Structure 1
């Protein structure tokens, strides 16, 4: 069946492409946050262990929302490590960093997601896709706030 939601096929494809990148970034950050949750050590173990869990739980819910929006626009959502690796802008450290390195890495990558959101937001605004605009704006706010909190934790 054709999709008739007031946005052309080409416009829906443009937005879906941007959402694919946002999905890949979000999933990669989810994996990273979960990894750090498992592997954090040091005097702030409990605090960071719990915080990283809050992050990955929130990101897991976001992954589903983003993928469902891509499907709503009429396109398959990427869902493999290979696809995510080719689409993501999130950087991954070679080895498991110490607690301070984990905070710095997550800060950098939440800021990366803010930039991914800004790029996707422009595409959605160009084609007047209010549903995608709302989703992307919500995601951007979460990443901006998380980056602010991580930034505060890394200042001595």
Structure 2
């Protein structure tokens, strides 16, 4: 009897062991939930930006949200490549996300940028934790992707921080 008849329908062959597949899939799915959360919050703030620096902030957040969204498909596909299944709904995301939503009716532009800077720093920390787990499982493809995304995430946090820095010269 061939192996493909004994595996569940969506089980993808992988050289990772069953425990590694379970752990890596879970970590990547949680990361994906956080990435979707940050994407939507960044778009929310992009759509609701106001004030004197509207154009600059609006364009910055549009650029950043595009970069964040670009991570979603590769993360989900890594889950499938290592033998797992991935997120299926907004509800699934909500159950797994570790970053907070912001449903406030009004947030000042500087508070938006500061909150996104904090969220990007938190996401970088989550990515480092995920990288460590993937490294332990010898999932070099995931660790490689994570290294680039950590750099991009730290760059977003840096830009947001610098944008909110008060001028030291008056």
Same fold (TM over 0.5): yes
Partner of 1:67: 76
Given that 1:89 and 1:112 are in contact with CA atoms closer than 8 Å, whether structure 2 keeps it comes out as no
State the 1:79 CA deviation: 3.1
**2:144 is the alignment partner of 1:134:** yes
Q: Which runs of 5+ in 2 are unaligned?
A: none
TM-score between both structures, scaled by the size of structure 1: 0.94
More helix by share: 1
User: Which of 35, 40, 44 is 1:31 aligned to?
Assistant: 40
The residue aligned with 2:85 is 76
Contact 2:110 2:164 in 1 (8 A): yes
Corresponding position of 2:15 = 6
- 1:28-67 CA distances to partner (integer Å, 9 max, x unpaired)? 0110111111110000100011111111111111111111
Equivalent residue of 1:33, what SS? Answer: helix
Bigger radius of gyration among the two: 2
Aligned CA-pair RMSD: 1.3
Give the whole-Å Cα distance in 2 for the aligned partners of 1:88 and 1:7: 25
User: Aligned-pair distance for 1:4?
Assistant: 4.4
Following TM superposition, by how much is the alpha carbon of 1:124 offset from its aligned partner in structure 2, in angstroms? 0.5
Give TM-score, length-normalised by structure 2: 0.86
Q: Which residue in 1 is equivalent to 2:156?
A: 146
Q: Matched residues in 2 for 1:89 and 1:140: separation?
A: 17
Aligned length: 156
Partner of 1:119: 129
Runs of 4+ in structure 1 over 2 Å off:
1-6
1:89 deviation in Å?
1.4
Aligned to 1:51: 60
